[in-house]
Structure 1
């Protein structure tokens, strides 16, 4: 009971959701406990009145006193066991509070270290370019030393944070070992207390049973003739109680042992998870440290190499100046050759770029086709799974109905007891349907955005192409110049939309709202038309501001949709598992025990009927033999040979009858 309550409190502390059926079940249990308490109160009052009216015998008085004493012992034992639960709950609460504080401190240290490291890395990275501009070796050496000191400070900060985390991990291991020892000690004390209470309770039972037996023996001596049946029933009742108490004690010991094993497994699993998490963080920090060390080492080697090269060049520059004039003419020839080579290479790279662009478009189309195929096969698998589910559910329901019919026949026809049908609703009340409808509505709203562009939207894109040509990339301009006049407009529009981060038709429709205006006609009606081309830049600026504000909202909405889908899948899996479990347990354990007891009774009844059948056959055989003997005797008595005898059998039979008369 103690470990069951403890696991229940742990589950409530972790915030497990309670379904509607569980809440109804708890309320019903509380009402039943109150009704039983009232019923017990009334029964105790009736018993007290009967006891006042009728004096109790020695045995009954001893039973009453023994029950009071044993109830007192049970109450004391329950209070001692409850102390262990209270102490364990308090220790666990303090440990969780301390663990939460340590976790927040680690996250804060990690965040502070990342912020400071990023700032230092940025400052170090900004100074690298300035080193190339230094021409004096002494200044260059001074700046390199300063950079080296800054890098050492960053590495030292990382090492200090790693050492702190390693120390905390070591402390966690020690705390875990201490917790295991403390838990083992608590369990040993609890087991010792349980053994002591069990021994005390068994001793008390034995003493009380001995006293009860003595009292009944005295009553037996006094009232042997009048109360023999009552004493026999009391002895049988005592034996039944002994067996029940022994069985209850064995069940309780087995239940407590199972709870102990579950607690050991739960704590070991949580420790392994925490240890793996901390090890992953340490490995990530060590990997980052090694990368930074390698980067700093590479930069240091580059700087040393550049320093040596610059020192050598300073010596060689004096000699090289004399040769530069002679090399000018030769370099002019080389420059013209390089210009020619650059033009050829540029043409080659443009050709390769066009080929790669075409490949990218083809791969994109293939990816979209693959997505459509994936959706089709996913729907097919879902339909197949649903069909298999319905088939298995139908077979299982047939088996359930068969079991229920058999249970009803056993209770109503064989036992003559009122039978209550079980609840066949194996699905629990969850919010799965509401979440699914919400997901479908959101996906429907997204799908409504994919519509064909209107004429006004097309005119707006043409206006952007003419007024905002500066958004077209230079690479795209060169490609567009080589195309025909009809194909230039789509390329420019695509480049402009890409620069504005407009990816869907819904974004185009949103942008269209900024390029529209209302016009009043002469007949007092209002029409909507595009703005002047001169105001296109202002409308485009307003749209970019609006898109920047809503970017974060769209990202959060996508993440919410993904998380909702995952929650629905997890919830569906749990519901299916619970469905099959409840279907397998449709017949209560109490009914199974009644079935086994009824089966044993039927077997005994069959044996009795077989014995009666054998006795009936033997009786029929004896009756048949008697008939044969009677007919044979009558035949002998009526034979003619009897008249020739000196004393016929009739006279021998009649003589005793006459004497008796």
Structure 2
């Protein structure tokens, strides 16, 4: 099939299909000039001109001559760009419409071919049915004729006549079979023709699809090219209008300055021209009414054309619905014929089903006997399982009660231990506030201080039978590790671990053991163990962690930071007091040594030596260690004795130096004592 053609030659035995309506391919926008404006555009442009003319007359009557011209020019400039945009939109819409029509034209042609094919198929079907009916009637007549001759064979006694009768019957039967075979061969040949027609139709559809794709791709290329061309043209138009607008605004500004000087003189002559202008306005109003009448007439003619077009569409819809109803009538007739055939088949099928029903009844009796025996065995099994279920429920209630008691005991034990540690921490906080800081201390009031025992909160009720089913499904595995659950309890260990982290700063010893893996499973079993006979209440343990966490954090974070700061300050204060105690001990030793020196001086002075003068000075030496004993050694008394000379050569000098240990404290540092004594010696050396 050549491209552009809507149909091809129909195969043998099929009428030719109508070709699609030819649609002209849209040309390239560069080579095809833009189409002229339509009637609606001309009407709109005419209305705009009339409105601009009326506005100009109104302004002229009021004495505003220059402004209407400027506004008309601005409107013309604006219309130039808008006109370009509108023309581009119309051009693109036209291209899109033509492309859509080209694409849908193929579908319309295919639909028309299919409609014609169905009509021809219905006609051929009626012919086949009529032919089959005629053949059935003729064959029935021949068969009855042959059957009637068999009765004559009983009266024939001559073998030759009987042989001739048999030959005649055989010939008639062979003729009847030949007619049947001929009809079958004709139907098979028609079936082959239909297969060939189906292959050709598939090929035709494939060609139509390829043609449709080619047209769609061509339309896409044309639309893209048109869009680019129009966009470039619009950009050029806007650039040109921008330059013109700048020039016109500049000219308008210069003209406005000049017009301002001349407006005063023109205003005096405007009043005289008003009478003449009023007469002109009357004439213009007549012209305007005529134009409005013409525009209204054109609009009404367009409305009449639209209504005629709608009438044609309604007629086409009526014809299409009529064809659909005729086709549905043929389908219903065919279904009625098929229903008669199906009823005859169902009657034969009912006869066969009656025989199978008797066989099924015998099988049903055997199966009912077998089911009764199985029911008895299952009833015995049910009684045995019911007894086991009751035993499991009894065992479950026993374990639930024992677990509840153990949980309460463990809770009370750990709660008492936690509250004892909490009271100890609160006493330490009270002593720190009242004795060390001198601040008032208030007893904390928390919601968990007055609680004793587990929290009394319960979840929704569950049926005991449901819990028993869960225990039965789990088997006996949850009962195996009970001996290990009775030896350890996770709640006390978690509480001890939480308190240990917060009470470490107070000096209290808090120990805890590692977490055991049975904790989570024990908690889930404890929730399942509170069973009743008909309903079960499960304690809500969602607040337990919050309760133990609150006990562990009874001392807030700000108080702990205050304790840390107080600990650092007390350590520094302790170091200062320790240094002060050591310095007081050294002071006592120095006082004792000074007392001994005084006694030595008194003894020396009473030994008969005249004392000329006694100079006693004191010089403080800082924490240096040059030439002095190390800290902690016993101080020594050093006497500087003059060189060996005769007793009577002149006075001598005895110098006593007392060295104290090194003191590094900045608060209490006793100085080094130095005593210079000038004594009269019998010898003259100094």
Which one has more relative contact order, counting CA pairs under 8 Å at least 6 apart? 1
TM-score normalised according to structure 2 size: 0.25
- Higher-Rg structure is 2
| TM-score between both structures, scaled by the size of structure 1 | 0.26
> Which has more helix, going by share of residues?
1
